Structure 1
Amino acid sequence: MASDHYPSVPDQSTAVTEERAVANAQGALDVVQAASVTVGEQLAAIDDRATAQATDAQWIADEVSSLSATIEEIAATATEVSEQSQRATDAANDGRKAAADAIESMDEVRELGQAVATEVAALQDQVDRIADALAGIDRIADQTNMLALNASIEAARASGTTDTDGFAVVADEIKGLAEESQQQAEEIETTLAAVRDATDDTVAQLDEAIDGIDTGAEQVTTAMARLDDVADTVAETADGIASVSAATDEQATTSEAVAQRCETVSDRAAAIEDDLSEIRAARSEQTAMLDEIDDVLAAAEADRQDRLADAPTVPTGIAGLDDLCGGGLVMGGQAVFRYADGTQVDGVVAQLCATAVAAGRAVSLTPPPSLDRSTLAAAFAATDHSLEDALDDDALFILDMFGHWDARYNMFDLERTSLATANETTATRRDAPLVIVGNIQGEIRMMGEQAAREARYENDDGVFEPHDTVVNVIDDDAVPATLAAFYSGAADQELTLTQTDGREYLTLTASPRGTVGTKQSVSRLSSPPFLRLRDN
């Protein structure tokens, strides 16, 4: 953007713009080359993993095929066991039916035994009645004997009469009959006694048999209940084994499918290896092309570095820092100030702004999120300008990207005012070479990484004048590494603030003047210039 108060030289502006475009291209190329190296390493790792994956996939395919065969064997065995379980179930059911039949037969035997016992009991009653009759016969025999005896006595008394012999004969016959009846009664009684004893034994044996039948029936009933349990268990087992058989069949099918998939993965992994070989070949060509582009840009950048080596410098106001940079920041150049590990750059930024204004330059500042107004005011108070005077005199422009500063003249809240408007206002009002102190973390917050990168080219294409100096402040803990590498690759000067073992160091990592790689210890101060470099 052209200035109304500080006109630029067209030819020089064009040349500087082209040089800055080359520098930006160099930064982008550095990022691409770094990314290419990373991609190469990743490709190698991917290649190794792809090879391992192909090997593993083939091994898995073989193992799954073996597993599938084993599962099929298990399925066949499970089917056989299922059939055996079914046969066991059928046998248990048959046993349960036989036990039920046995119980039914025992019930019939018990009923028959009880009927026989009843009949035997009736026989006992008949025997008892016969015994009673025999007792009556015994009594009759006794009475007959008594009558025979009486007849004999009467015959003796009547001896000598005509009827005595007949009477005596009758008495003898009666006596003989009585004795014979008594003898037969005794024999019958003996027989009845034997019959009674046999009947008693039969009754006892029948009772024992019935008790045994009852006990057997109970045991058979218990056995049948157990057979029921066995049959149920076998049936459940058969069902379970049938389910296992079905599951193993399904698993076998799935395993075959997995094996086929593994073979497909193995084939694809092999194809990936082939693709990676082609990618590596293409990357090798790309690397060669990048090297050629790097050589061209390096040659173009060499002219810029030669010019900047003799260019005027912008003082920093920090003891030892100007000496480290070979006289200060190169006027018209691009510098990067990187910090990390908990270090702070608030004092450095404040001192650089105050010193630049004191040296007759204008400053466009995007404050770091931790830089407060008091620190910046203290840095200006230590010079011939105050913070308020610098703002009022169009020597300082603050672009607030974090909402920490109150909007006022030359102090822009970028959440309310666009960056383009703030830059246009700055270009219109400034009447001295500009030192642009940018904050990459703020730009990412406001625009995103891609837009911040694009804004860099837009600013170089007409916004900055050849004598304007750019200082980009990068917090490595907050800015993506690729974007930080882009800015570092495009930088003419680069300073890095680090901390090691509780001590801070500042290193000049790139510069057209001074000794690149020089590292110096840093001391913090509570007042301006806030920082001092000292020899190690």
Structure 2
Amino acid sequence: MSTGIPGLDQLMGGGIVRGGTLLMEHDGQASPHSILTNLLARASEEDMALTIVPPVELPPKRLRSIIDERIGDMEELLADDRLFLVDFANIWENTKRNVFKPQEHDTDNPAAVLRTVDDRRGDRPMFTALNVEAQLPVLDNDELRQMRFWEEENLYQPEDTTMYLYNPDTLSDELAAFYRNGAWQNLRTWVNDNGLQYIKLKKSPSGYMGSTRLVEYVTDEPYMRVQRLPGAGDGDS
């Protein structure tokens, strides 16, 4: 599936693998939100349902404005079972259909939430974006691993595609390695001392694995592009 971002599809050999898992690592300074936003927009355009565990640093008002601008009216998407928000961080108002709060309500335990989402999405394939850090107040390391395998085994359809986001510095080495090993594709983005943002393809069945690109933000959609470094070949790190 295309990311919709000039240069990123080329780096990844066409985009993200349908039915697979993409891991997006960031250093806490480089924002992964533009990539997340574009993937959500592309998935919605292809009539996929969307499930989001929102990043803790992306507050409700900001996420709502992004969804309204790039994807569609958030209220309608929630009401029509095309968008599901799982609020592990417990910062959203639980007054809307398809906003779930596992930390606040026992009936919203993660397994029950995922079953409800699976029932309500119908025949639509699902694009899921999960911020790993946001789940830590509710799930410990073993529960995170168990939930990932349980969901994949019991709920996933062939074209369901998942994106995990995290800052590896906030996780144990063991847990970070678990997500890296389980991902089909792995991107890492960071900001250097000069304030430039880079992105590297660390793992993928296609594309230019090991290559680093420069991230630039622009004023028109999709608001970013990924460019080859001056003087670098496609395979250069």
TM-score of the superposition, structure 1-length normalised?
A: 0.40
Secondary structure in 1 aligned to 2:116?
A: helix
Q: Are residue 423 (structure 1) and residue 114 (structure 2) matched? A: yes
- Cross-structure match for 1:461: 153
Taking structure 1 as reference, are residues 383 and 503 closer, same or farther at Cα in structure 2, changes over 3 Å only?
Answer: closer
Q: Are residue 524 (structure 1) and residue 211 (structure 2) matched? A: no
- Cross-structure match for 1:325: 12
The percentage of counterpart residues that share the same residue type is: 28
- Cross-structure match for 1:477: 169
For structure 2, the residue ranges without an aligned partner over 5 or more in a row are 230-237
- Cross-structure match for 2:72: 385
- Distance in 2, matches of 1:379 and 1:324, equals 25
Q: Are residue 351 (structure 1) and residue 44 (structure 2) matched? A: no
Where does 1:394-473 land on structure 2 (aligned, <5 Å)? 394-407=81-94, 408-415=96-103, 416=105, 417-431=108-122, 432-473=124-165
- Distance in 1, matches of 2:136 and 2:180, equals 16
Taking structure 1 as reference, are residues 525 and 421 closer, same or farther at Cα in structure 2, changes over 3 Å only?
Answer: farther
Taking structure 1 as reference, are residues 381 and 360 closer, same or farther at Cα in structure 2, changes over 3 Å only?
Answer: same
Secondary structure in 2 aligned to 1:534?
A: strand
Contact 1:351 1:528 in 2 (8 A): no
Aligned residue type for 1:487:
Y
Secondary structure in 2 aligned to 1:459?
A: helix
Q: Say which structure, 1 or 2, has more relative contact order (CA 8 Å, 6+ apart).
A: 2
- C-alpha deviation, 1:389, in angstroms: 2.4
Q: Are residue 489 (structure 1) and residue 181 (structure 2) matched? A: yes
Where does 1:97-176 land on structure 2 (aligned, <5 Å)? none
- Distance in 1, matches of 2:119 and 2:188, equals 33
Give the alignment partner of residue 507 of structure 1, picking from 200, 204, 208.
Answer: 200
Equivalenced residue count is: 223
Secondary structure in 1 aligned to 2:57?
A: coil
- Distance in 2, matches of 1:374 and 1:321, equals 28
Q: Give the strand-richer structure, 1 or 2.
A: 2
Q: Give the helix-richer structure, 1 or 2.
A: 1
- Distance in 2, matches of 1:527 and 1:411, equals 31
- C-alpha deviation, 1:364, in angstroms: 1.0
Q: Higher Cα Rg: structure 1 or 2? A: 1
Secondary structure in 2 aligned to 1:344?
A: coil
Aligned residue type for 1:437:
A
CA RMSD, Structure 1 to Structure 2 (Å): 2.0
- Distance in 1, matches of 2:150 and 2:28, equals 32
Aligned residue type for 1:367:
P
For structure 1, the residue ranges without an aligned partner over 5 or more in a row are 1-313
Secondary structure in 2 aligned to 1:442?
A: helix
Deviation digits for residues 77-103 of structure 1 (CA, Å, limit 9, x no counterpart): xxxxxxxxxxxxxxxxxxxxxxxxxxx
- C-alpha deviation, 1:344, in angstroms: 2.0
Secondary structure in 1 aligned to 2:150?
A: helix
TM-score of the superposition, structure 2-length normalised?
A: 0.86
